[in-house]
Amino acid sequence: MIRYSLKCAQAHEFDSWFQSAGAYASLRAAGHVTCAVCGTTDVEKLLMAPAVRPARSAATVPDTAPPAKPLSQPNTEVEHALAALRAQVEANSEYVGLNFAAEARKMHDGTTPERAIYGEAKPEEAKKLIEDGVPVAPLPFLPRRKAN
């Protein structure tokens, strides 16, 4: 695995992991590398220094780099908006986990009381719900149990 620092044409900077340099090149050529903020595919690698661990016997050198912000703290307007949306969904909905498709279908069929729910569904389950007229929409964040 290799981590690249990336920057889009709108000057948004972000990091992403790739299986290899070749994987990055082929994904970028296919238009699958997009800006994490604005979604553009006009993304370039930034100049990076490799992270090399010193030998065990080497003296420890103090780290002069500024401390990184924790990933759990929003840094941009978009991240703040997503955090607010997540808080609203979690405060006003019931997490039903992997039972989302079944629960949504039961509510649509009238066999269980309607309520606000969110959870996880396989793509084919979500597609079938939409085809059957069950009102569902994807959320732009993962459930907390899947977040790093």
Determine the pLDDT at residue 95. Answer: 92
∠ CA 68-11-77, nearest 5°, is: 65
What mean pLDDT do residues 99-107 have? Answer: 95
The candidate with the shortest Cα–Cα distance to 23, out of 37, 50, 2, is: 2
Q: Which tens digits make up the pLDDT trace of 18-70?
A: 898 899 999 999 989 998 888 889 999 988 766 677 766 655 555 555 555 55
What 5-9 contacts at long range (C-beta under 8 Å, 24+ apart), as own/partner pairs, is: 5/45, 5/46, 5/48, 6/33, 6/35, 6/43, 6/44, 6/45, 6/46, 7/43, 7/44, 7/46, 8/35, 8/37, 8/38, 8/40, 8/42, 8/43, 8/44, 9/40, 9/42, 9/43
Determine the pLDDT at residue 80. Answer: 86
Q: Where are the domains of the chain?
A: 2-45, 78-137
State the chain's mean pLDDT as an integer.
Answer: 84
Determine the pLDDT at residue 8. Answer: 92
